[in-house]
Amino acid sequence: MRRDVFQAIADPNRREIMNMLAVQPMNLNAIADRFEVSRPAISKHVRILTECGLIIIEQKGRERYCKASPSKLKEVSDWVAHFSKFWDIKLNSLKNYIENEQHSNSKRNKH
């Protein structure tokens, strides 16, 4: 099954792993030490993040370090931006409607 970025960031533990790796690369043990879930669970989260291209694992000596590769998050940003534009248009339309109604009501009240 091919996973996508949206599946990866749906889990709060994976989002926290991304937040940690955005600060600095870490090995799997250092990541796991910051969570109260099992190391196999953390390994699964890291595997999903890797499959989605959100993190890269590099071998340094005997250690494997994970580092963030947030460029794939642009897909999420683009998707959100699409709906942001949609809501901007809708909210501006509502604002204009309310302002026109208020203006019309104030004219009626003057007469």
pLDDT digits (tens, 9 = 90+) for 9-35: 999 999 999 999 999 999 999 999 999
The CATH number of 5-72, from 1.10.260.40, 1.10.10.10, 3.30.565.10, 1.10.3720.10, is 1.10.10.10
Using DSSP, state whether 69 is helix, strand or coil. Answer: coil
* Domain boundaries of the chain, sorted by first residue: 5-72, 74-110
Point out which residues pair with 59 in neighbouring strands. Answer: 64
Amino acid at the residue 33 = D
Query: What confidence score (pLDDT) does residue 111 get?
Result: 64
Stretches in the chain below the pLDDT threshold 70: 1-2, 111
CB 15 within 8 A of CB 56: no
> pLDDT at position 1, please?
56
